[in-house]
Amino acid sequence: MGETILQINHLSKAFGANVVLRDIDFTVEKGDVTSIIGASGSGKSTLLRCINLLETPTSGEILYHNQNVAGRKVKAAEYRSHVGMVFQSFNLFNNMTVLENCMVGQIKVLKKHKDEARQSALYYLQKVGMAPYINAKPRQISGGQKQRVAIARALAMEPEVLLFDEPTSALDPEMVGEVLTVMQKLAQEGMTMLVVTHEMAFARDVSTRVVYMNQGVICEQGTPEAIFGNPQRQETRDFLSRFRQQ
Amino acid sequence: MQKLIELASDVAALWGKYHSSYLTGIRNTLILAVVATVIGCLIGFVCGILNTIPHSKTDPPLKRFFLALIRVLVRIYVEVFRGTPMVLQAVFIFYGLPYFTDNSVQFSGLQGIWTAAILVVSINTGAYMAESVRGGIISIDPGQTEGAMAIGMTHVQTMLHVVLPQALRNILPQIGNNFIINLKDTSVMFIIGFTEFFATHKSVAGATFQYFPSAALEMVGYLCMTLVASFLLRWLEKRLDGDSSYELVQEDPLTMTAGTYKHPDKGSNFDERSKEYDGKEAR
């Protein structure tokens, strides 16, 4: 349907002799909500970090609107400002308040005026329900709240696609819901999202596409109905049945 | 007891006669220590940043060469100035620079002495601070850097706005240490004729032969300076940490308390064992 934002061709990544990703081919289209599932160590997070160039791919290309961004380091910062990232451990700037966290990128990277940045930061903080906490420092708020601020910080850059690296894995169970609710809202508003997750219910109910990764390769991908209802590969079936038994 | 009273009266007499000399000494010591610590910190920060520029094997060879060269130069600077006594460094720079430049660089007159003293103490402090700053930068969670890079900040922006403010807070005790060391160690600058607090002692004692009372006065003087410095540094640390409370702007509509997101009847979208799910995927 939509235009292709990201196209990944033959992407591989090795840490020394340890090959983490093998020959990954993968596209992200506008409006896609893609969940990447798979066991720990299957390369999900590394794939996401490669897409945001936090890891340098060993080989292969990452096309952003048909321009290869892998390999040439020159435009990495500019490219990253279009591709938001939400981390497992939040990574909010500890020396800034909640509001400043959401403003600094707009001012320093997008060169927006302070008032304009403040306005848009407040808009996105409102959206994630963190507007009341603008004066708090990250160490003063809970994990779920931190993650919502991190989402607002990424949104404030108005990225074309938002990457989530296990956004709820570091949270206490009672905080998972508030973060997933925000993510679901974003998905419904048409935000293009790429989510590495262990929340199978989110993958099944919110995403438009599910990618199952196993040992550094994309084992199976398709609609949530197909992956959860009628998985083709034995590995996928084993993985999903492990989750159901819990 | 008798001796103590005697000492006190001797010190009082010295102070009465030479207090303007002592005060000038204290003033010069304070100015030199403050200025040199500030400049030393700046040198330390620059070296620390240069030392931590990310480098990888995929960089072009020229860039790799320059980065390696910078690291080697910083390393040499740190090792040389940390590993030799400041009193010798003072002699080397004060007499060495004119020697090597055939007197085209000279530290003549009072201004020359000030320049040389500030230069030596700053460079020395910088060598210590370079390592402290490097440690401070390393101590910041790499996640902070990744968070900044992920919103498109460059290395310099990440350093200036995210990493260094936090590193600065972490190494503030180190900066305080250096400042207090500088307050005392500037005394070796008498070797190039700088009239700081200790030099005053030498001249006063030389004129009056009251070595011990003058030394006692100096001890108290130095201790007062360092105590005030400690106090101010603690205050600064507290101030940088900021208030531990914050104000809410209004109520937060999205916060959910434990368990409420899991609706008992329907089961939410995110509930792994919602009723729909179990129905469809019955084992």
Q: Is the pLDDT of residue A34 over 50?
A: yes
Q: Secondary structure of B125-148 in the HEC alphabet?
A: HHHHHHHHHHHHHHHCCHHHHHHH
A6 vs chain B: nearest CA distance in angstroms? 16
Q: How many CA atoms lie within 13 A of B15 on its CB side?
A: 13
- Asked if residue B22 lies in contact with residue B197, where contact means CB atoms within 8 angstroms, the answer is yes
A25-39, A123-137, B198-212, B236-250 — which is least confidently predicted?
B236-250
CB contact under 8 A, A206 and B269: yes
Q: Which residue of B56, B149, B249 is in closest CB contact with A56?
A: B56
Under DSSP, is residue B40 helix (H, G, I), strand (E, B) or coil?
helix
**Cα B163 from Cα B280, distance rounded (Å):** 50
**Cα A202 from Cα B44, distance rounded (Å):** 49
**Cα B70 from Cα B75, distance rounded (Å):** 8
The model's pTM is: 0.79
Q: Is the pLDDT of residue A115 over 50?
A: yes
Q: Which residue of A78, A132, A176 is in closest CB contact with B252?
A: A132
CB contact under 8 A, A201 and B144: no
CB contact under 8 A, B274 and A180: no
Helix axes B2-51, B164-185, angle to 10 degrees: 140
- Asked if residue B276 lies in contact with residue B263, where contact means CB atoms within 8 angstroms, the answer is no
Name the residue among B179, B187, B195, B183 with its Cα closest to residue B225.
B183
pLDDT computed for residue B267 by the predictor: 45
CB contact under 8 A, A54 and B253: no
How many CB pairs below 8 A link A and B? 148
pLDDT computed for residue B274 by the predictor: 44
Phi, psi (deg, nearest 5) at residue A8? -110, 125
Nearest CA in chain A to B154: A77
Residue B62's pLDDT band (cuts 50, 70, 90): confident
> What is the DSSP annotation of chain A?
---EEEEEEEEEEEETTEEEEEEEEEEEETT-EEEEEE-TTSSHHHHHHHHTTSS--SEEEEEETTEE-SS--TTHHHHHTTEEEE-TT----TTS-HHHHHHHHHHHTS---HHHHHHHHHHHHHHTT-GGGTT--GGGS-HHHHHHHHHHHHHHT--SEEEEESTTTTS-HHHHHHHHHHHHHHHHTT--EEEE-S-HHHHHHT-SEEEEEETTEEEEEE-HIIIIIS--SHHHHHHHHHHHH-
CB contact under 8 A, A109 and B151: yes
Beta strand A59-64 with A67-68 is antiparallel
Task: Pull the structure tokens for residue A41.
Answer: 């160590």
**Cα A61 from Cα A69, distance rounded (Å):** 7
pLDDT computed for residue B266 by the predictor: 44
Percent of chain A with pLDDT over 90: 68
**Cα B147 from Cα B242, distance rounded (Å):** 23
pLDDT computed for residue B260 by the predictor: 42
The single residue listed with the structure tokens 């480098």 is B55
pLDDT computed for residue A72 by the predictor: 62
pLDDT computed for residue B240 by the predictor: 81
CB contact under 8 A, A52 and B147: no
CB contact under 8 A, B249 and A87: no
Q: Taking residues A79-83, what's their average pLDDT?
A: 91
Residues 157-196 of B with CB under 8 A from A: 157, 161-162, 165-166, 169
Name the residue among B76, B120, B78, B80 with its Cα closest to residue B97.
B120
Q: Taking residues A149-156, what's their average pLDDT?
A: 95
Percent of chain B with pLDDT over 90: 45
pLDDT computed for residue A155 by the predictor: 94
**Cα B45 from Cα B39, distance rounded (Å):** 10
Q: Is the pLDDT of residue B35 over 60?
A: yes
Q: Which residue of B246, B256, B272 is in closest CB contact with A140?
A: B246
- Asked if residue B201 lies in contact with residue B218, where contact means CB atoms within 8 angstroms, the answer is yes
